[in-house]
Structure 1
Amino acid sequence: MRDQSKIGKYFRRAREKTGMPWLRFHDLRHSAASAMINAGVDLYTVGAVLGHKSAASTKRYSHLATDSLRAALERIGQKNPHQNKMRAA
Structure 2
Amino acid sequence: MLEEHVQSAWQRARDAARRHDVRFHNLRHSTASALINACTDLYSVGAVLGYKDSRSTARYSHLSTESLTAAVLRVGQKSPHTTQKKRA
For residues 4 and 65 of structure 1, do their structure 2 counterparts lie closer, same or farther at Cα, with a shift above 3 Å needed? Answer: same
Matching residue of 1:20: 19
Equivalent position SS for 1:57: helix
The sequence identity of aligned pairs, in percent, is: 51
TM-score, structure 2 normalization = 0.71
Look up the equivalent residue of 1:7 and give its one-letter code. Answer: V
Which sections of structure 1, spanning at least 5 residues, go unmatched? 76-89
Q: 4+ residue runs of structure 1 moved beyond 2 angstroms?
A: none
Q: How many residues align?
A: 76
> In angstroms, what is the RMSD of aligned CA positions?
2.8
Which residue does the alignment assign to 1:54? 53
Q: SS of the counterpart of 2:28?
A: helix
Greater RCO, 1 or 2 (C-alpha within 8 Å, sep 6+) = 2
Structure 2: unaligned runs, 5 residues or longer:
75-88
When normalised by structure 1's length, the TM-score is: 0.70
Equivalent residue number for residue 5 of structure 1: 4
